[in-house]
């Protein structure tokens, strides 16, 4: 009678062996997991100090909106005030900057004006020797030819004055369009909201740029 060779059963896969071990020691594994969770919760304040979450990583729509219906209504009313200015009274181009400045002051912000003149397209032979202001029209310049940029500033309660966020809204101070007035209304709503928050770490600068001369930002100082 021939000897029969013993049949060697194949060993189960490692993943199966781990699963069988966890099932057979389920009570012990549960106690370890619960203990680790409690320890992690106790250490969370210390671990969170080294954790940085960027605001750019937030998913759109995950945060609750801060701009209320009242803010939107105030922005709409601000837009209507600009559009309702009589066309005869805005020929000088200073009524809209004054209206913007008035609302900025009411919000507790700082107001500054940047007054400039249009650039001259005429060639001046001494332009390179007289400096950058040689191209600015100096003669026969009335008040209506000046452009006025209005600058509103909100100081951040938690800021150090070294960083700022700039909001720029160009508009034609002589012949403003509905779209330009709408952009001013939206900027005013955001500016009004940020003037009330206490978590702000950067200054907010709102630049209402007069673009009636075709250039949104003028670097020449009158």
**pLDDT over 80 at 132, yes or no:** no
pLDDT score recorded for residue 206:
93
Cβ-proximal residues to 103 (8 Å cutoff; 6+ apart), any chain: 78, 188
pLDDT score recorded for residue 151:
92
Distances (CA, A) of 87 to 92, 127, 174: 10, 37, 8
User: What is the percent of the chain where pLDDT is above 90?
Assistant: 15
Residue 168 phi/psi, 5° resolution?
-115, 125
Lowest average pLDDT, out of 4-18, 47-61, 76-90, 96-110, goes to 47-61
What does the alpha-carbon distance between residue 29 and residue 149 come to, in Å, rounded to a whole number?
Answer: 69
For residue 29, name the pLDDT band (cuts at 50, 70, 90).
confident
**pLDDT over 80 at 78, yes or no:** yes
Average pLDDT (9-16) is 74
**pLDDT over 90 at 153, yes or no:** yes
pLDDT score recorded for residue 51:
55
**pLDDT over 80 at 220, yes or no:** no
For residue 221, name the pLDDT band (cuts at 50, 70, 90).
very low
pLDDT score recorded for residue 141:
45
Q: Mean pLDDT over all residues of the chain?
A: 75
More confident position, 113 or 48: 113
pLDDT score recorded for residue 47:
67
Structure tokens at 209: 């740029």
Average pLDDT (115-121) is 67
For residue 105, name the pLDDT band (cuts at 50, 70, 90).
very high
pLDDT score recorded for residue 37:
87
pLDDT tens-digit profile of 40-77? 888 877 766 655 555 555 555 555 667 778 888 888 99
Average pLDDT (83-91) is 64
What does the alpha-carbon distance between residue 160 and residue 138 come to, in Å, rounded to a whole number?
Answer: 40
């Amino acid at each position: 009678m021939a000897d029969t060779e013993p049949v060697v059963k194949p060993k189960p896969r490692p993943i199966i062996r781990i699963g069988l071990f966890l099932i057979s020691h389920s009570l012990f594994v549960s106690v370890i997991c619960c203990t680790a969770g409690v320890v992690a919760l106790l250490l969370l304040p210390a671990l969170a100090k080294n954790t940085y979450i960027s605001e750019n990583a937030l998913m759109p729509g995950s945060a609750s909106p801060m701009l209320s219906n009242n803010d939107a209504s105030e922005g709409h009313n601000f837009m209507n005030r600009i559009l309702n200015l009589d066309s005869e009274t805005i020929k000088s181009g200073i009524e809209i900057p004054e209206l913007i400045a008035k609302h900025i002051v009411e919000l507790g912000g700082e107001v500054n004006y940047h007054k400039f003149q249009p650039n001259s397209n005429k060639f001046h032979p001494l332009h390179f020797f007289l400096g950058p202001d040689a191209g600015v029209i100096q003669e026969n310049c009335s008040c209506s030819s000046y452009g006025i940029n209005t600058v509103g500033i909100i100081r951040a309660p938690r800021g150090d004055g070294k960083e700022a966020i700039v909001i720029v809204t160009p508009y034609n101070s002589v012949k403003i369009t509905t779209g330009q007035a709408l952009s001013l209304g939206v900027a005013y709503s955001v500016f009004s909201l940020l003037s009330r928050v206490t978590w702000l770490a950067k200054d907010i600068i709102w630049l209402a740029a007069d673009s009636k001369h075709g250039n949104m930002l003028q670097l020449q100082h009158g």
